[in-house]
Structure 1
Amino acid sequence: MSDEEFINQFETCTFPAASFHHREHAKVVWLYLQRYSVLETLARFSENLKRFAAANGKANLYHETITWSYVFLINERMERNGKGSGWDNFAKNNADLFSWKSNILKSYYSEQTLSSELARKTFVFPEKFAP
């Protein structure tokens, strides 16, 4: 599937929900950051992810702090390493962004904060320093 088809299926909520996992979320963010500023990406991705979740009966799964944190982390990695390396190289060189079990956000947030209703509804600043 082309990048345009990937984005289109996400934005039109036709991407198979059962196949839209963390890696696919990150790929959409990466594709948006190729085209838009980080703030435009944040707005577009958050809005479209909420719509995608609602269309698939999972509106309650949207988590603002996790979403925003990953947008900023992916943007930082792209800025440090260049935007032109391609998705496969980006994913290979940033494997820590894709390991949900050893979630990178644990370096920035306590489990208590990430599991809070406040963090789900609104962006909460990290409580720990970057590793």
Structure 2
Amino acid sequence: MNAAPFQELMGEVMATADRFGHRQHIQLTWLATRRYGTAAAVDLVSDGIQRTARYAGAPQKYNATVSRAWVELVGHHTANDDTSHTSDNTGDFDAFAARHPALFDKRLLTRFYRPATLASTEARTGWVEPDLAPFPWR
């Protein structure tokens, strides 16, 4: 996949941030799902994060299931957010964040997955369906 769209999104997110933490990850994913749709954002964000982990010398930190699950969660909330398609400014993201505070809980995936499932080789290298509860849109 072309790295340019991911780099553009990263540049936009990091223009107002000191570091790339969980909030910035959610913002990047929110931008990607708004601009490209959830299905395309899964590939764009996952590929970008995997490339970044490899570049940082930590390819083992990439988890395919975690990346896709977060994109699907953010995409679901973005698609069902009344104001999600007005513009791309930070103020809109702040409003989105205020309406969906659960997305800022790093442990959100534990509502859907057992920790052992997410730590498995299968989850790290490919998609694994939730094993505790289905996602709300399925």
Cα distance in 2 for partners of 1:57, 1:89 equals: 35
1:59 CA drift (Å): 1.6
In 1, are the aligned partners of 2:64 and 2:124 still within 8 Å (CA)? Answer: yes
Cα distance in 2 for partners of 1:59, 1:127 equals: 25
Following TM superposition, where does structure 1 have runs of at least 4 consecutive aligned residues deviating by more than 3 angstroms?
Answer: none
**Alignment partner, residue 39 of structure 1:** 39
SS of equivalent to 2:80: helix
1:9 CA drift (Å): 7.0
**Alignment partner, residue 116 of structure 2:** 112
Matched, 1:93 2:94: no
Identical amino acids, percent of aligned pairs: 27
**Alignment partner, residue 3 of structure 1:** none
Cα distance in 1 for partners of 2:80, 2:102 equals: 15
Deviations 1:53-105 (A, max 9, x none): 122222211111111001111111112223137110111221111122xx111
SS of equivalent to 1:105: helix
Q: 1:9 to 1:38 in 2, by over 3 A?
A: closer
Let me know the Cα RMSD of the aligned residues. 2.4
Cα distance in 1 for partners of 2:20, 2:67 equals: 14
Q: 1:9 to 1:42 in 2, by over 3 A?
A: closer
